[in-house]
Amino acid sequence: MSRIKTAAAIGAVAAFSAYCLVQNRALEADHYTVKCKKLPPSFEGVKILHLSDLHKKRYGDDFNNLINTCGFCDADYIFFTGDLFSRTEEDLKPKLVLMRRLMKLAPVYYVMGNHETDADEKSSALNCKLEEIGVHVLRNTHERIYRGNEYINLYGAELPLECYRADGRGYRGLKSVDVKLLDKLMGTPDPEKCCVLLSHSPFPFKAYAEWGADIVFSGHCHGGVIRLPIVGGLLSPERKFFPEYTRGLYKRYGSTMVVSAGLGKFRLNNPSQLICATLTGK
């Protein structure tokens, strides 16, 4: 009987290991329609490819599998909302390979996440190279994206590291994000124009909306790492259970937020995700 139990235990472990392997290689493309009443008519139907939280993940040689999947979105613009690399990574050349390949699909706009913010020397060097190849690096700055004579304002928030980790270590007493801080970082947006905000953390959604963001693109939460039926994501990077925003489309406070479950990190019942968001004013 003991041999049968041992064999059953080994089989269960092998099955679970295989399940984990499949789950962590899966890549899902989700399509959302994002509405904004202030969207200029020339932006009707524009497609945004939203990527986030790659970390150390690879998708075949030179990211072939990821690039091939991205190509199906047929995007007009690509938004990358942080954690392009992990703070412990040393060789960042593959990240440039990925961004060059993405640039061939559509213009790329990029904001830093907490891992880049926590590795300032690496991220500064990488940002210079990204700008050299034509990536739009938004560090508490904004750009106008034109289509004909009409435009939207695209802002990129780079939140202080204290918003992610207190004193660079723990997760208690994190710096809060409010309108005052966002005004200090990026200024006040024009309320008459459509304002799109790229910001790594989704948790200050209410502050983003009150600040003036009509549409927000975020990541950070990795889909909650493990997703449970009905309940959703289990854990945030701040070690909090059942975080409010983990994956998908959220409509609150007169604004809409698109949260990517990300591309990297360990996950269960939570496929890596890229998002194709179609903009509409109708």
| CA proximity to 127, closest of 90, 95, 103, 155 | 95
Query: Is residue 251 situated within a structural domain?
Result: yes
Query: Is residue 23 situated within a structural domain?
Result: no
Query: Is residue 116 situated within a structural domain?
Result: yes
Query: Is residue 228 situated within a structural domain?
Result: yes
CA distance 62 to 99: 10
| Residue 131, C-beta contacts closer than 8 angstroms, at least 6 positions apart | 137
Structure confidence at residue 12 (pLDDT): 43
Helix or strand run (H / E) with residue 51: strand 47-51
Amino acid in the structure at residue 87: R
Structure confidence at residue 188 (pLDDT): 97
Structure confidence at residue 1 (pLDDT): 56
Backbone angles phi, psi at 57, to 5 degrees: -70, 140
Find the farthest-apart pair of alpha carbons in the chain and give their distance in angstroms, rounded: 78
pTM recorded for the entire structure: 0.93
Q: What is the extent of the structural domain holding 47? A: 28-280
How many domains, the chain?
1
CA distance 197 to 217: 6
Task: Give pLDDT tens digits along the chain (282 positions).
Answer: 576 655 554 554 444 444 444 455 679 999 999 999 999 999 999 999 999 999 999 999 999 999 999 999 999 999 999 999 999 999 999 999 999 999 999 999 999 999 999 999 999 999 999 999 999 999 999 999 999 999 999 999 999 999 998 875 688 889 999 999 999 999 999 999 999 999 999 999 999 999 999 999 999 999 999 999 988 999 999 989 999 999 999 999 999 999 999 999 999 999 999 999 999 998
Structure confidence at residue 9 (pLDDT): 46
CA distance 111 to 156: 6
The residues pairing with 166 across neighbouring beta strands, listed in sequence order, are: 170
| CA proximity to 212, closest of 195, 225, 234 | 195
CA distance 248 to 245: 8
CA triple 259-262-265, angle to 5 deg: 140
Query: Is residue 46 situated within a structural domain?
Result: yes
Structure confidence at residue 239 (pLDDT): 87
CA distance 158 to 115: 12
Query: Is residue 1 situated within a structural domain?
Result: no
Structure confidence at residue 14 (pLDDT): 45
Query: Is residue 19 situated within a structural domain?
Result: no
Structure confidence at residue 220 (pLDDT): 98
Cβ-contact 157, 114 below 8 angstroms: no
Cβ-contact 151, 192 below 8 angstroms: no
Query: Is residue 5 situated within a structural domain?
Result: no
Instruction: CATH number of the domain at 143, please.
Output: 3.60.21.10
